[in-house]
Structure 1
Amino acid sequence: MKLFGIKNCDTVKKARRWLDDHQITYHFHDFRTDGLDQSILQQWLNYVSWEQLINKRGTTWRKLEDPRKDQLDQQSAVELMLLHPTLIKRPVIEDASGVSIGFNESDFQARYAK
């Protein structure tokens, strides 16, 4: 399992804490320090839509002054996420079943509890 996000994100912290508390092994990939490339985003798009990946509630979105912001399609969304990885909802989790976004304790319990 891989958990993608940024280490100072509260939601990522909750997800990591839950996984640690339940002794579930995962690899943490920090967008800021480890980077993000197009192949990873394209892989995620096999499971979720670009609309699900973009966090329009966050500070990065609100402060974004890019003309593509108002007329997004998949290509422009990917370009923006590569330029501004903090636009991505967090955490993104890759596991054997595919890709999921966000942290919800009951969902984690159902998916990962042993």
Structure 2
Amino acid sequence: MRFFGLKSCDTCRKAFKSLTASGHTPNVIDVRADGIGDNDLATIVATFGEAAINRASTTWRGLSDDEKAADPTTLLATHPTLMKRPVIDADGQWTIGWKADVQAKYLGD
């Protein structure tokens, strides 16, 4: 299981803690420190499209209108912290965020 997130993100910390408590051993990729590999970036954008962009983030609010108009691949390559988090790759099954449906998938009922 690969876990794309930010070490400073409260949601990512909660998700990581819950996953490890339930027996998972996520390999954490900090998108700010480690970046997002080209293949992973392409998969994230192909899987989630525009939903991969966190438009509520402080990074998003700091972008110019021209920057906001860029495609998701360019945005995430330039500003990896714009990614909605966490993104989890569990044996080729990708999820985004940490809402109830994602929690149920990894933690059970």
TM-score range, shorter chain: 0.7 to 0.9
Equivalent position of 1:3 in the other structure: 3
CA pair 80-107 structure 1, distance change in 2 beyond 3 A: closer
Equivalent position of 1:112 in the other structure: 106
1:96 Cα offset (Å): 2.4
CA pair 66-36 structure 1, distance change in 2 beyond 3 A: farther
Paired amino acid for 2:22? H
Aligned length: 108
Cα distance in 2 for residues equivalent to 1:15 and 1:57: 19
- Provide Cα deviations, 1:50-95, integer angstroms capped at 9, x if missing partner: x1100001100001125141x34xxx32111111101100000011
* Structure 2, unaligned runs of 5 or more: none
Bigger mean CA offset, 30-39 vs 77-86: 30-39
Identity of aligned residues (%): 37
Cα distance in 1 for residues equivalent to 2:37 and 2:102: 28
- Provide Cα deviations, 1:8-53, integer angstroms capped at 9, x if missing partner: 001101100101211211110001221223221112233222x110
Kindly indicate whether residue 98 of structure 2 is the aligned counterpart of residue 99 of structure 1.
no
Q: Is the 8 A contact 1:2 1:93 kept in 2?
A: yes
CA RMSD of aligned residues (A): 1.8
Structure with the larger RCO, 1 or 2 (CA within 8 Å, 6+ apart):
1
TM-score (norm 2): 0.86
* Structure 1, unaligned runs of 5 or more: none
TM-score (norm 1): 0.83
Q: Is the 8 A contact 2:2 2:29 kept in 1?
A: yes
The secondary structure found in structure 2 opposite 1:93 is strand
